[in-house]
Amino acid sequence: MNFWTKKTAEAPVKIWGAGTARSLRPIWVAEELGLDYELAPIGPRTGETQTKEYTELNRKQKIPFLVDGEVHLFESVAICRYLIMVYPNDQLSSPEALLEKVKEDEWVSYIYGEIDETSLYVMRRHRDLADIYGASEDVVQSAPAYVQRHFGVLAKHLEHQQYLMERGFSLPDVLLMSCLDWAVHYEVPVPQVLQNYRNVIAERPAYQKAMAINYKDLFGG
């Protein structure tokens, strides 16, 4: 049996989650791929992730979350990679050679580890979610300098190429763009090279549609 062929013939993919930078990623990828999918736009701290029905699907009680037949996935990176591999098209490039695969993993890990988790989410945790995790003005003040240092690394890499991977727009760009939007929302200064990069990607129709879906309240949906 060809697993991937079987998957495309089944019911639409279902994605849970909306309203955050991390939930934007699988929605955006699904739109880039022209995927027939169903969205359950539950929020991260609305009580919807703690329901019995959702917990039976995802005991971590987090978003985003994906179900595609027998495949259940949490974590935005894993969900996006799965969609790109299983439902490929020419809008999102996917690595073929081993070196390309590991270089893509390198950028994905770097962006998620250093910019998302260690910088922006730390700011969210101790500012927006201070009632849960505790306020820390020192952390909130120091995190922007940390993320700016890593923005400098990315800006240098993008000085002479349009996307993070030479072959074209790909998963690392989805992650970086979501983090740039997050940083701008937090008023973290962004180098001009990354501002230009962000302006170009913001013109992608799938990105614009995903933003309107993910941030429905902001777009008056």
Judged against a pLDDT cut of 60, whether residue 43 lies above it is answered with yes
Centroid of chain to Cα 207: 11
35: pLDDT strictly greater than 90: yes
User: Are 60 and 111 members of one domain?
Assistant: no
pLDDT in tens, 60-108: 999 999 999 999 999 999 999 999 999 999 999 999 899 999 999 999 9
Q: Which of 34, 58, 92 is the last residue in one of the domains? A: 92
The CATH number covering residue 19 comes to 3.40.30.10
DSSP assignment string, the chain: --HHHHHHTSSPEEEE--SSHHHHHHHHHHHHTT--EEEE---TTSSGGGSHHHHHH-TT--S-EEEETTEEEESHHHHHHHHHHHS--SSS----SHHHHHHHHHHHHHIIIIIIIIIIHHHIIIIITHHHH---HHHHHHHHHHHHHHHHHHHHHTTT-SSSSTT-S-HHHHHHHHHHHHHHHTT----HHHHHHHHHHTT-HHHHHHHHHHTTTTTT-
The 10s digit of each residue's pLDDT in 107-129 is 999 999 999 988 898 887 767 66
Backbone dihedral angles phi then psi of residue 18, each to the nearest 5 degrees: -160, 160
On whether residue 116 sits in a domain, the answer given is yes
154 or 139: which leads in pLDDT: 154
The whole-number average pLDDT for the span 155-166 is: 96
| Torsion over CA: 131, 133, 135, 141 (sign) | negative
Tell whether 79 and 117 lie within a shared domain. no
Do the domain assignments include residue 108? yes
Percent of the chain scoring above 90 in pLDDT: 76
Instruction: Specify if 210 maps to a domain.
Output: no
144 or 218: whose pLDDT is higher?
Answer: 144
Q: What are the tokens at 17?
A: 């989650």
Q: How confident is the model at residue 221 (pLDDT cuts 50, 70, 90)?
A: very low
pLDDT at 54: 95
123 compared with 185, residue with greater pLDDT: 185
Identify whether residues 129 and 198 lie together within a single domain.
yes
Please report the pLDDT score of residue 6 as a whole number. 42
Please count the other Cβ atoms lying within 10 Å of the Cβ belonging to residue 11.
Answer: 10
Q: Is 46 found in the same domain as 124?
A: no
Q: Find all residues with CB under 8 Å of 213, minimum gap 6, and list them.
A: 18, 27, 31, 39, 41, 221
Using the 3D structure, point to which of 92, 119, 143 is the last residue of a domain. Answer: 92
How long a stretch of residues is the chain? 221
* Residue 218 pLDDT greater than 80, yes or no: no
Average pLDDT, the chain: 90
The predicted structure's pLDDT at residue 143: 84
Cβ-based neighbour number of residue 25 at 10 Å: 25
Q: Which two tokens stand for residue 89?
A: 């098209």
Is there a domain that residue 73 lies in? Answer: yes
Amino acid symbol at 116? D
pLDDT of residue 82: 97
Residue 17 CA to residue 156 CA, distance in Å, equals: 33
Q: In which residue are the tokens 């439902």 written? A: 87
Residues 50 and 121 in one domain: no
Containing structural domain, residue 180: 98-204
Q: What is the mean pLDDT of residues 169-197?
A: 97
Please give the average per-residue pLDDT across 34-38, as a whole number: 96
Mean pLDDT of 195-221: 91
107 and 35 share one domain:
no
Same domain, 10 and 85: yes
152 and 173: one domain? yes
What's the CATH number where 169 sits?
A: 1.20.1050.10
User: Do 134 and 71 fall within a single domain?
Assistant: no
Specify the number of domains making up the chain: 2
**Boundary of a domain, candidates 37, 70, 92:** 92
Indicate whether 124 and 35 sit together in one domain.
no
27 band by pLDDT with thresholds 50, 70 and 90: very high
Query: Are residues 112 and 198 both part of a single domain?
Result: yes
Do 10 and 68 share a structural domain? yes
